[in-house]
Structure 1
Amino acid sequence: MRLLLLLTLTISTLTSSAQNSSLNGVVTANNTPLAYATIVLSSTKYGTTTNDKGFYEIKNITPGEYMAIFSCVGYITERVKVNIAAGNPAILNISLKENSSKLSEVVVTGVSRATELRSNPVPIVVLGKKDIDQHVNNNIIDAIVKGIPGVTAVTTGPNISKPFIRGLGYNRVLTLYDGIRQEGQQWGDEHGIEIDQYGIARVEVIKGPASLTYGSDALAGVINLIPYIPNGQDGKLNGDIITDYHTNNGLIGSSLGLSYKKNDWKYAFRATGKMAHNYQNKVDGYVYNSAFQEYIISGMARVDKGWGSSQSALTTYDNKQEIPDGSRDSLTRRFTVQVAEAGNDDIKNRPIAPQAWLNSYGVTPLHQHIQHYRVYNKTEVKLGDGLFASALGWQQSIRREYNHPTQPGQAGLYVTLNTLNYDWRYSPKVVNGWETSFGVNGIYQTNRSKQATDFPIPDYNLFDIGGFFFAKKSVGKMDISGGIRYDTRNINWDDFYVGANPANGFEQRVNANTPGGRLQFPNFKHTYHGVSGSLGFTYNVSERILLKANIARGYRAPNITEIGSNGLDPGAHIVYLGNRTFGPEFSLQEDLGLIAYLKDADLMLEVFNNQISNYIYQSRLDDANGNPVIIVPGNTTYQYQQSKARLYGAEFTFNLHPRGANWLEWNNSAAYVTGINQNRALIAQSNGAAKYLPFIPPLHIRSEVKLKLQGSYGVFSKVYFRAEADAYATQNRYYALNDTETPTHGYTLINAGMGSTLKAKSGKTICELFLQADNLFDVAYQSNLNRLKYFEYYNASPNGRSGIYNIGRNISMKVIVPF
């Protein structure tokens, strides 16, 4: 870190010595200070957010004329020209008008410089802290699913959600934390994203190929989770205490955040703890083995100087997560407990789980333990009128799955993934209106198995590097942007032998010359290459109406399970079989969009068509007689397939916010996607059972009415009430080959919520209160993206229900106390 700061200081002394200045002021709305408003100087990296008093300050600005953009979710964006003189701080106070539109925003994801959402042709959606707070959830991905049409999640209980964008997920969705790509065994079904939901201030989601800026694994899009950066009063300790409680699974969440700002330095710290017992619904009762415990600590330090800025952060994540296997008593349908090892386990005669275990906060011996550690630095150095940006990070993901009831301390799966992230890019001076950026980024990764008994993937080494060029220019009413990228990824592993372990009676990794050893993973070495790019246009029909068009080619190298897997993943209860001959996936996606910023409403329509070559997917493996292939008793076997595929669909948003009745909002959205398998031979052979792709969500319609009381009522202000209908259509378009998937009935969930800010007579905020009821009428339903739907051991049951159902009625309460 010292060397990095020394390098940046050395570079800065070689650049222009012109005297810089600053811009500051207060942002208000209805004569009230507006917190979390964003201020950006267009076509530059200069930007900040307001504190809880509406104050902002941007330091070390090169003198000149700029376009200052003031934006905040729920308010109309203002653009003001400002002249920054050398050594003379500029003061600019702005009052924003309410406008419930979420469409007019400033984004930083997938662009070279902070860019207005309206001028970005790539489909991108922003979710602010206000929306994240108001949608009380078990995890941050569920909040995104509720707030952004086109985003769904494959779930394995309330705390495990893997994001999908327009029907594509796993390693096709790139998750970022503060712009650094998240690496934590993304191929696994049975764990979520290792990120503190209470520490996220903003989410930016790119829908569609984003390989241009990020390389492989952004084929479906990007989810950038941006943490809070302190911007409070100098020399004063600020913070908040968050308390969260859910009635369904007894979730208790507590989080303490601290921030401090002094001169050019900012510091932030957060500690979070969550625990929950088993969740419940009216069909299954308490779902045994769905409890969890989660503890997260994060810290950040940032310095802003005349030469630029440098920000360093670290996070630690520790999660113990139970995973249900779905075994039950055949008559009572009560959940049972595995007490014997696979060879001696009689599933039909397991003991019933005691009631005391079902609502206990303790974690059972059969669970998984996920630990994730991250350290990173982001530095920006001004080089004349250009900007050099560097991001370096190290992550370690440790994953253990305990699946041996007779030896609960022995992990079935135990892998350690180490990742080095690097990203260097340069944005030169804007010339003749052209904004350009070029750079190189990638990862170096190693994965190692430890003292385990099951080995689904080999120990591998991976090196990934890619270079890109990006350009943007505004010509009259047209904004044009695009670029090109080339990637290369090398992955290799040595021979991996497995043999008997006399100490515990299971298997272990052994040397090649060990008697009785068998070769589970023959050595492998391959380099994948990919060219990706995009070209897009935004046409400003008027200030309020925009037309967007974008075409992008995405690239994704196969992940480790797709090419290398050959064994049991205990937590998923799946034996995976990979294919070493797979080539990389390439997509060609066309997007068309219409956005209208009307006085009393917002309207957004986006349609897309995505053609993918070498699409990789899972299919259940059956024998010649149509019976499931069982390699490990009690576990399903899946084999990866590859073919051409096509996905197409649309998202529609209509938000009504009449200015003559600013107490009313009516927000509506619809999302639809169809996934077609283009392997004609397989479709014909299967009589159409393989026609559709797996994991495709059905038509999803959401409608919300929100009432906002005007004024204050004693200590209560900003009081709102909302009611929501969340409807999913029946999904009859599914991958039916070998019963990999089955049809899913449609359902409608009714949700409701209310909230308020409590203020003292002095105007100081005491706390924010949120009350929410999800699935108010306790509907029994199964999402087609719920993996637990397929956790069933019997062909028929006394109540006619199969598999495990989603969470029932849940009342949640959240209190945020700032200080």
Structure 2
Amino acid sequence: MKFIYLFFIVGCTMMINAQNKISGIVTDSNNNPIPSATVSLPEIHKETSTDKDGKFTLNNIPQGTFKLLVSFMGYETQTQTISLSGNEIQLSIVLNEAITHMDEVIVSNVFKRLQSQNVMKVELESIKSLQQKGTATLIEGLATIPGVSQVSTGTSIGKPVIRGLSGNRVLVYSQGVRMENQQFGEEHGLGLNDSGVESVEVIKGPASLLYGSDALGGVLYFNPEKFANPNDFKADVSQRFFSNTLGSNTSLGLKTSTDKWKFLVRGNYNTHSDYQIPDGDRVTNTRFNEKDLKAGIGYNNASFATVFRYNFNQLDLGIPEDGIAEQSTSKKTNFPSQGVDSHILSLHNNVFFKNSKLDIDLGYIYNDRKEFEDSFTPILHMKLKTFNYTVNYHLPKKGKFETIIGAQGMNQTNTNFGEELLIPDATTNDFGIYATSLYEWGKNVLQAGIRYDNRKVASENHGTIGNEGYFEAIDKSFDSFNASLGYKTNFSENLTMRLNLASGFRAPNLAELTSNGVHEGSNRYEIGNSNLDNEQNFQTDLNLEYKSTHFEWFVNGFYNHIANYIFISPSGTQVDGYDVYNYEQSNAALFGGEVGVHFHPHPIDWLHLTSSFETVTGRKDNGDDLPLIPANRWNNTFKAEFEQGNWLKDGFATLNIVYTLAQNNFSEFETKTNDYTLVNLGLGGEITINKSKFNVNLNANNLLNKTYVSHLSRLKTDGIPNIGRNIMLGINFKI
């Protein structure tokens, strides 16, 4: 609990004396007021909306320099740099009609810039848009983003894959802190619920400069739900039903704010039966139940700003072992099963000086993972406790230069309590320091940075030498220097180019260093290698974007070389009837990209046609294909937007056709996967009846009930297809 006390001590000892206020009016180019426009200071989580006359007020703002953002759907987002020092500022802001979608701030970048100003291309998706696609879980929704896939075990367990890299090579951030939940295991899911999450940002490339080890393949950065506007109270309840799994997802949220205090709380319950394949059978014990609670408290005045958040997530997951066996619609899991409890506590603080600022993020994650074989006594029981911190100091701006220096650290302990050990008791300590600078001139932006990291891993000796389950004590230290260089320019008003060069690294995890036993999920005897070195990569990314009034296109290409890529290889021997596999290293390369178009023709601007194609190839230096490389995918969506009188607003209808090509490039542990086409439908909007408003969406995924097997399905080896037709009905009431 000492870490929790530290959160509040840091949050309550920051003092700056000033009294600041921002007020103004937002209009269009014809001087007409724009009501309900969003006016925000993202750096201190301060936000309000304009009234019917386009006027707004933000009170109790610390002194310092911030970015003020003004946005409204259908208009270009405006950003201004505001300097405050005990004064009141009056603003008159004009919004111009947008050529394309509304520009948004990229929070995962320390400079907190709009996407149009960002050097690195980051995919940003709102959770609302992912839910409108009718997916049952958060990871299923993420897998619809170009360049993102999932390693799945039925509908209950999914692990993100970014451009062919997964596991510990993809870092997940929630509430501003890195997730630690034994993510190295293929049968370990994401461990996050989409309830209470505002949006997700996907960095498709090495992000070690900002996040250290394990960000070698990319980052998923989840932005939590926003607080209510000052002096406002909001409540909502949502319900989603799923026909295939007879599933239900219920969410209730409450939030209120004053000028200084902000509160929110949200609860969610998610329950599903075994999923059904197209022939009508259910895949035994793919059922799962999930409880999720999120809460937040924010406070700011003329002295400081701080936000504390807490997330409790409890998962009860069935582990499919018998394939298609006993048929049941029960939601009570059978053995074997997993029980995972996760607690995430985070504290975000801002200290503003006259010309600079300091950001301090503290996080504590407690992950309690149990695996039950044939009774309620866990055969495997691990408790992982992680404390991490990030400190960023924004130096005073020098002309066109912005510079940030920072430090990150992590202390982690893993302790075993079960009969069996998957990894030994161990302690991990990380420390990293970095600096990054941004220089902007005209239509050009240049960003560069450098970083040094050290990771120390110490584990305990366990068992008897030469026997299964013996873990040799290790005391290892891993060091790495990394750098990045990015350049963005506008060739014309409509054409943008981004070029990024970046290195990244990943220290080997405990399973790779110490394994000595049967891995039940893969049915093989795995032996770790304590002599493994860092994986070190260098990636080149090129992004071209064209945006005009009615037509957009993009091209993303990448080449990623990984030195000392860690993989598992058969030794040709057996232990107790299981084939023995050893962890080894070799150089490897991945390359590919994404291309896409978006067409909304005039005068039928309500019609949107989008199409994207994504491809990735991964090979070791000897020519062998890497495992878990997703098949190429062609995604096409036809979307109509409409309104009907005063009772239906933001209406939409979508037809989505996804063609996944055959995967003929597979590793020695995999087999070829055939191609398949899925058809999905969606319909929804905001309905007003009397004074009551609610959102509704209806989806039919895999409409034609196609029998198919994803290349990244862990049930593929048993010949078990993925989920059949699934109809989802979702309703959200705002109280």
Name the structure 2 match of 1:532.
Answer: 482
Name the structure 2 match of 1:70.
Answer: 70
CA contact (8 A) 1:568 1:632 kept: no
CA contact (8 A) 2:62 2:304 kept: no
Name the structure 2 match of 1:523.
Answer: 473
Give the letter for the 2:662 counterpart.
T
CA contact (8 A) 1:73 1:128 kept: no
Give the letter for the 2:499 counterpart.
A
Structure 1, unpaired ranges of 5+: 328-334, 337-352, 499-511, 684-690, 793-802
Q: Report the secondary structure of 2:15's partner residue.
A: helix
CA contact (8 A) 1:755 1:769 kept: yes
Structure 2, unpaired ranges of 5+: none
Residue 596 (str. 1) matches residue 593 (str. 2): no
Residue 623 (str. 1) matches residue 599 (str. 2): no
Q: Deviations over 1:227-285 (max 9, x none)?
A: 11212351x43121110110001111101111010221101101110111100112471
2 CA distance for matches of 1:311 and 1:379? 7
CA contact (8 A) 1:112 1:436 kept: no
1 CA distance for matches of 2:271 and 2:315? 10
2 CA distance for matches of 1:394 and 1:2? 11
Give the letter for the 1:88 counterpart.
E
CA contact (8 A) 2:26 2:50 kept: no
Q: Report the secondary structure of 2:311's partner residue.
A: strand
Alpha-carbon offset, residue 7 of structure 1: 5.4
Residue 438 (str. 1) matches residue 354 (str. 2): no
2 CA distance for matches of 1:40 and 1:597? 27
Alpha-carbon offset, residue 424 of structure 1: 1.2
2 CA distance for matches of 1:642 and 1:547? 35
Higher strand share: 2
Name the structure 1 match of 2:664.
Answer: 732
Give the letter for the 1:753 counterpart.
G
Name the structure 2 match of 1:807.
Answer: 723
Name the structure 2 match of 1:90.
Answer: 90
Q: 1:376 pairs with 346, 349, 367, which one? A: 346
Alpha-carbon offset, residue 617 of structure 1: 2.2
Give the letter for the 2:319 counterpart.
I
Name the structure 1 match of 2:671.
Answer: 742
Residue 169 (str. 1) matches residue 85 (str. 2): no
Give the letter for the 2:699 counterpart.
Q
Residue 308 (str. 1) matches residue 275 (str. 2): no
Give the letter for the 2:654 counterpart.
R
CA contact (8 A) 2:62 2:352 kept: no
Give the letter for the 1:12 counterpart.
M
Residue 723 (str. 1) matches residue 652 (str. 2): no
Q: 2:431 pairs with 456, 465, 468, which one? A: 465
- From the superposition, tell whether residues 528 and 97 of structure 1 become closer, same or farther in structure 2 (CA, over 3 Å): same
2 CA distance for matches of 1:639 and 1:96? 60
Residue 388 (str. 1) matches residue 358 (str. 2): yes
Residue 777 (str. 1) matches residue 704 (str. 2): yes
- From the superposition, tell whether residues 371 and 525 of structure 1 become closer, same or farther in structure 2 (CA, over 3 Å): same
2 CA distance for matches of 1:139 and 1:24? 42
State the TM-score, normalizing by the size of structure 2. Answer: 0.93
Name the structure 2 match of 1:655.
Answer: 598
Q: 2:333 pairs with 359, 363, 375, which one? A: 363
- From the superposition, tell whether residues 59 and 189 of structure 1 become closer, same or farther in structure 2 (CA, over 3 Å): farther
Q: 2:233 pairs with 233, 237, 242, which one? A: 237
Name the structure 2 match of 1:121.
Answer: 119
CA contact (8 A) 2:62 2:301 kept: no
Give the letter for the 1:368 counterpart.
Q
Give the letter for the 1:432 counterpart.
G
Name the structure 2 match of 1:687.
Answer: none
Q: Deviations over 1:105-154 (max 9, x none)?
A: 32110x222112123222311112441331222221221221x2101111
Q: Report the secondary structure of 1:562's partner residue.
A: helix
CA contact (8 A) 1:215 1:442 kept: no
- From the superposition, tell whether residues 301 and 632 of structure 1 become closer, same or farther in structure 2 (CA, over 3 Å): farther
Give the letter for the 1:393 counterpart.
G
Deviating more after overlay: 700-709 vs 23-32: 23-32
Q: Report the secondary structure of 2:671's partner residue.
A: coil
Residue 294 (str. 1) matches residue 290 (str. 2): yes
- From the superposition, tell whether residues 596 and 308 of structure 1 become closer, same or farther in structure 2 (CA, over 3 Å): farther
Q: Report the secondary structure of 1:468's partner residue.
A: strand
- From the superposition, tell whether residues 50 and 697 of structure 1 become closer, same or farther in structure 2 (CA, over 3 Å): farther
Alpha-carbon offset, residue 715 of structure 1: 2.0
Q: Deviations over 1:502-534 (max 9, x none)?
A: xxxxxxxxxx9xxx9987011111100011110
Q: 1:410 pairs with 372, 377, 383, which one? A: 377
2 CA distance for matches of 1:74 and 1:133? 22
Deviating more after overlay: 19-28 vs 588-597: 19-28
Deviating more after overlay: 18-27 vs 780-789: 18-27
Name the structure 1 match of 2:15.
Answer: 12
Q: 2:448 pairs with 482, 492, 498, which one? A: 482
Name the structure 2 match of 1:251.
Answer: 247
Q: Report the secondary structure of 1:198's partner residue.
A: coil
Q: 2:268 pairs with 268, 272, 277, which one? A: 272
Alpha-carbon offset, residue 409 of structure 1: 2.0
Name the structure 2 match of 1:608.
Answer: 558
Name the structure 2 match of 1:143.
Answer: 141
Matched residue count: 728
State the TM-score, normalizing by the size of structure 1. Answer: 0.84
| Percent sequence identity over aligned pairs | 28
2 CA distance for matches of 1:603 and 1:725? 19
- From the superposition, tell whether residues 611 and 414 of structure 1 become closer, same or farther in structure 2 (CA, over 3 Å): same
Residue 153 (str. 1) matches residue 86 (str. 2): no
CA contact (8 A) 2:64 2:353 kept: no
2 CA distance for matches of 1:28 and 1:49? 20
Give the letter for the 2:459 counterpart.
W
CA contact (8 A) 2:663 2:675 kept: yes
CA contact (8 A) 2:468 2:517 kept: no
- From the superposition, tell whether residues 134 and 4 of structure 1 become closer, same or farther in structure 2 (CA, over 3 Å): closer
CA contact (8 A) 2:247 2:272 kept: yes
2 CA distance for matches of 1:96 and 1:253? 40
Q: 1:694 pairs with 602, 627, 648, which one? A: 627
CA contact (8 A) 2:44 2:350 kept: no
1 CA distance for matches of 2:96 and 2:522? 50
Alpha-carbon offset, residue 490 of structure 1: 0.4
- From the superposition, tell whether residues 112 and 497 of structure 1 become closer, same or farther in structure 2 (CA, over 3 Å): same
Q: Deviations over 1:407-435 (max 9, x none)?
A: x1232211111111111111122111211
1 CA distance for matches of 2:686 and 2:208? 42
Name the structure 2 match of 1:766.
Answer: 693
Q: Report the secondary structure of 1:643's partner residue.
A: strand
Instruction: Indicate the RMSD between aligned Cα atoms, in angstroms.
Output: 2.8
